[in-house]
Amino acid sequence: MLDMKWIRENAEEVRITAERKGIDISVDDLLELDERKRRLIQETDGLRERRNKLSQEIGRFMLEKRVEEAEVIKVETKEVNERLSLLDCELKAVEERFVALYELVPNRVSPDTPIGRSDADNVELAKVGDLPCFDYEIRDHIALGELHDLIDIPRGVKTAGSRHYYLKGAGVLLHRAVQQLALDLLIEKGFTPMEVPLMVRPEAMSNTAYFPLGKDQTYRLEDEESYLVGTSEVPLVTFHAGEIVDVEKPIKLAAASMCFRSEVGSAGRDVHGLYRVHQFAKVEQVVICRADPELSDAILGEITANAETLLQLLELPYRKVAVCTGDMSQKTYKQYDLETWMPSRAAYGETHSSSNLHAFQARRSNIRYRDENGTLRFCHTLNNTAVASPRILIPLLENHQREDGSIYIPAALSPYMYGKTELIPPQL
């Protein structure tokens, strides 16, 4: 979240940013509630101070046996208590409405973030790798998966419903291989590997800014006040929630975990294959550092480069885009996406995302450090998807297919595939 004092002084910027990010919030209502809340707090504090003084006077009068004067003060004390009771109820109602709006306030966006309404307005920054040239009719990842007995979607749907799947045999090995390759890469880069909780309390979702706006995308465990995470970013950041941390060197955390997403609002979109599913695995990078914009921007470049290295090791063509305001989440200050070429779609598809949140997430999670003057400051937090599977299997299978149906395995993956350098269909 943003500092409320800053919001009061920059209300117009907040309005513009909310509109550009597509967030429905009345900044005027927020400011009015903030003013009422502060007035009520001031009045209630004053009444409590008055009540304390009256209580002292009653005690003194009783000691001095000035009973009649004490009784007069008791009457005034009762009136003060009645007034306090009314004001406390009003303050509680105002605070609830204030918090509901305050939690919708979007993060600022960087000056170089493109302005746009959707991913169609994202700006291409670079293309890496040559697109494959097929002189034969290609198979999509599902046809390849069926040919090699790697993927079974009908049985996934039978077992769990739409957008579910089974991976089998070499499909499982590929799924795990890309994750382990990514995790090993991050460990070499100084990241601490973590095994994290996948069921979290609602405050963990709110503190990392996935609630309230992302609540409809999250699975809630019935009869329990906990939720399944859609990214290990939530437990990784929450690991340091409420703490004063040492960020002389940036804190670098990584986790390979299962993730869950309800995909509300995506009915009819990407229903074929493994692009948009309810259950998937991700290797996530999270970095917590000093509140230095130059430092966090440099780290954004580093974690994006880590994901690019992974794609290069997988020998996949991709492009890097600057994400526009309308395609950003509430919490994001600056974002890059990596989109990998998917032949069956004849287009690039998003496979990686990198975000710099500045202090927005740390303020909500209360993660602070002491600067060189000993002053407590909120950290900057960043995150990146090093790899997400099974989505990455789409370009991996499709780009590396051969005319006879065999599939080339990149050299970097071969050690994780028991030395296999290719997948050969059973009938060959």
Active-site positions read: 261, 276, 350, 353, 391
What 3-state class would DSSP assign to 84?
helix
With beta carbons less than 8 A apart as the criterion, state whether 227 and 219 touch: yes
C-alpha to C-alpha distances, 405 to 7, 96, 106, 139, 424, nearest whole angstrom: 58, 60, 48, 8, 7
| Contact by Cβ (8 Å): 206, 237 | no
Count of C-beta atoms within a 10 Å radius of residue 271: 12
Question: Which stretch of DSSP H or E encloses residue 228?
Answer: strand 227-228
At a CB cut-off of 8 Å and minimum separation 6, what does 143 contact? Answer: none
CA dihedral 10, 326, 241, 353 (to 10 degrees): -140
DSSP 3-state of 399: helix
CB burial of residue 428 (10 Å; 0-12, 13-18, 19+)? exposed
Angle between helices 67-102 and 27-63 (to 10 degrees): 160
Token pair recorded at residue 118 = 């959707």
Identity at 155, one-letter amino acid code: R
Taking residue 396's Cβ as centre, other Cβ atoms within 10 Å add up to 28
Q: What DSSP assignment string belongs to 296-332?
A: HHHHHHHHHHHHHHHHHHTT--EEEEEPPGGGS-TT-
Taking a C-beta distance cutoff of 8 angstroms, is the pair 347, 426 a contact? no
Q: Are 14 and 40 in contact (CB under 8 A)?
A: no
Burial tier of 85 (Cβ tally within 10 Å: 0-12, 13-18, 19+) = exposed
Residue carrying structure tokens 């600056």: 334
Q: 194 in helix, strand or coil?
A: strand
Tokens representing 198 are: 């996948």
